[in-house]
Amino acid sequence: MGVRRIDWELCDGCEVCVDYCPMDVLRMDRETNKVYIKYLRDCQGCFLCERECPQDAIYCFPVRERRIPLAW
């Protein structure tokens, strides 16, 4: 749902995206000093992580991967 890719070549481990994510989807790997997607199913597709990443390391796409029952 939203966040699709974090480019570890570009990620410098600043954690801005971790700080911003309202749904606590992203976490920091202390060994590599890189951010990874831990709880993909809970991503709400808001694109904030991509927007705020200073390194342009994050790519989001507005696909809905988790079924949400519709009104009709």
Partner 1 sequence: MLQVCKGNVGKSGCSAFAAGFFNVPLPTDDLDAMFKDMVRDGGYLRMQDRVQDHLEQAHLVMKDMMSYGVDFVRKDSGELERVPGWTRDLGLMFNGPNLMEAMRKASLEKGVEQANRVMVTDFLTHGGRVVGAAGFGVMNGEFHIFKAGVTILASGMCRYKSLPPGQRDTTGDGTVAALRAGATVCDTESDFSLNNAFVAHWDIGPGMNMYVGQGGRLLNGLGERFMEKYDPIRKDRAIAGMRCLAMGLEVRQGKGPIYMDLTHLDPEQVGRIKKALPLASLMHQRAGFLVGDRFVKPIEWMITAPHAQVGLAVDRRFQSSLPGLFACGESAAAQAMTKSLGCAATSGVTAGVAAARYAQEAGEPQIDRAQVAEIRERLYQPLQRKDGIEPDQVVLAVQEVVAPYTVLLIRHGERMKKAIAEVEDILKNQAPLLLAYDHHYLRMAIEASSMAKIAELQLKSALFRTESRVALREDYPYTDNVNWLKWINMKQEGEDLKISTEDVPMGRYRFHPERSEHLHPLWQAAENIGAINIEKGAVSWA
Query: Minimum distance between the CB of residue 64 and partner 1, rounded to whole angstroms?
Result: 5
Residues composing the chain = 72
Amino acid (1-letter code) at residue 31: E
Rounded to an integer, what is the distance from CA 45 to the centroid of its chain?
Answer: 8
- Mention every residue, 6+ apart, whose C-beta is less than 8 A from residue 63: 1, 2, 4
Map residues 27-66 to x or -, x wherever contact with partner 1 holds by CB under 8 A.
Answer: -----------xx-xx-xxxxx-xx--------xxxxx-x
Query: Minimum distance between the CB of residue 9 and partner 1, rounded to whole angstroms?
Result: 22
Question: Rule CB under 8 A: which residues touch partner 1?
Answer: 1-2, 19-24, 38-39, 41-42, 44-48, 50-51, 60-64, 66-72
